[in-house]
């Protein structure tokens, strides 16, 4: 059996707001920002195909996990493993966990600027030490790209040297905007967030020093419309969805 909890039973105890949303055919999707562009491309097709309306809510990876663990209203969540607090909360059906795609952390520069060599860990280290200014989404706000890049800096043994020349960014796209404007020499975030005009994408960091972050879809154990929730999860894990992930510089799960 695919689901630990029969989905037909999930709609038995709805709040008035949940019941109204279910009657209106609305599906609430919460997800971390690293997969935002691909999902926003997929949503219109899902709505046309099914007649359901998607209400998307995006935040940092940590914030999205907290939303699920604390019992916020949602039908489908897209999270970055690990998420032990989410499973412990019983607010998501663990057996519905479906891998969607992964995204590597990469480097971008202002359009037309020389592209640094990032082909090896040693080249990345030289690039970061030589750079006068760097922007990336801060781990302090729960940005998964920032958490990953902090780990990269520690692996390279240059965390303190690089942190001394980091300019604050409010997120991945903000870091890219800073690079586009020439406010920083180097911008770092998920490759999937590098659709900002005015930058040249250098490429992903070497796998030896930077592990790609996975994105997994789960259905809420309190879904207001279990049928719609399953339909949405099926759609964003479909073959067509894999093409959208690839188009957004992500690695599809299949």
* Residue 243 belongs to a domain: yes
Residues 117-139 pLDDT 10s: 999 999 999 999 999 999 999 99
Residues 82 and 146 in one domain: no
Residue 6's pLDDT is what? 44
Give the separation between CA 193 and CA 2, rounded to whole angstroms.
33
Q: How many CB atoms lie within 10 A of CB 90?
A: 14
250 touches 101 (CB < 8 A): yes
Residues 126 and 146 in one domain: yes
Residues 163 and 175 in one domain: yes
User: CA-CA-CA-CA torsion for 133, 134, 135, 139, nearest 10 degrees?
Assistant: -130
Helices 36-50 & 226-236, crossing angle to 10 degrees?
Answer: 120
Residues 208-243 pLDDT 10s: 999 999 999 999 999 999 999 999 999 999 999 999
- Inform me whether the pLDDT recorded for 22 exceeds 90: no
Domain that holds residue 170: 105-204
Cis-peptide, bond into residue 82, ω within 30° of zero: yes
Residues 118 and 184 in one domain: yes
Highest mean pLDDT among 41-45, 137-141, 168-172: 41-45
- Domain tally, the chain: 2
* Residue 88 belongs to a domain: yes
Residues 196 and 111 in one domain: yes
Give the separation between CA 212 and CA 160, rounded to whole angstroms.
23
DSSP codes of every residue in 1-58: ---SS-GGGTTSS--HHHHHHHHTTEEEEEEEGGGHHHHHHHHHHHHHHH--EEEEEE
Looking at 204, 225, 243, the residue that finishes a domain is 204
135 touches 184 (CB < 8 A): yes
Residues 97 and 110 in one domain: no
* DSSP-derived 3-state class of residue 77: strand
- Inform me whether the pLDDT recorded for 18 exceeds 70: no
- Inform me whether the pLDDT recorded for 154 exceeds 70: yes
Residue 24's pLDDT is what? 58
CATH code at position 66: 3.40.190.10
Residues 154 and 241 in one domain: no
Residues 81 and 24 in one domain: yes
Residues 121 and 190 in one domain: yes
16 DSSP 8-state letter: H
- Inform me whether the pLDDT recorded for 11 exceeds 60: no
Residues 179 and 118 in one domain: yes
Of 206, 235, 207, nearest in space to 219 by CA: 235
Share of the chain above pLDDT 70, in %: 91
Residue 168's pLDDT is what? 86
């Amino acid at each position: 059996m695919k689901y630990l909890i029969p989905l037909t039973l999930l709609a038995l105890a709805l709040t008035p707001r949940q019941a109204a949303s279910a009657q209106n055919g609305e599906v609430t999707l919460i997800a971390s920002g690293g997969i935002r562009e691909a999902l926003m491309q997929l949503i219109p097709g899902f709505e046309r195909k099914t007649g359901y309306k998607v209400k998307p809510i995006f935040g940092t990876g940590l914030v999205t996990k907290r939303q699920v663990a604390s019992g916020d209203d949602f039908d489908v969540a897209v999270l970055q493993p690990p998420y032990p607090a989410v499973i412990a909360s019983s607010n998501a059906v663990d057996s519905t966990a479906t891998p969607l795609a992964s995204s590597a952390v990469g480097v971008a520069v202002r359009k037309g600027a020389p592209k640094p060599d990032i082909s090896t860990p040693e080249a990345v280290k030289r690039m970061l030490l030589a750079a006068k200014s760097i922007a990336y989404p801060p781990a302090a706000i729960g940005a998964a790209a920032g958490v990953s890049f902090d780990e990269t800096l520690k692996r390279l043994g240059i965390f303190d040297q690089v942190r001394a020349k980091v300019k604050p960014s409010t997120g991945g796209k903000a870091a890219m905007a800073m690079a586009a404007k020439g406010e920083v020499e180097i911008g770092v975030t998920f490759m999937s967030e590098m659709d900002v005009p005015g930058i040249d994408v250098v490429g992903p960091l070497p796998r030896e020093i930077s592990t790609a972050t996975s994105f997994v879809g789960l259905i809420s154990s309190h879904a207001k419309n279990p049928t719609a929730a399953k339909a949405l999860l099926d759609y964003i894990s479909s073959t067509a969805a894999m093409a959208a992930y690839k188009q957004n510089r992500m690695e599809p799960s299949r």
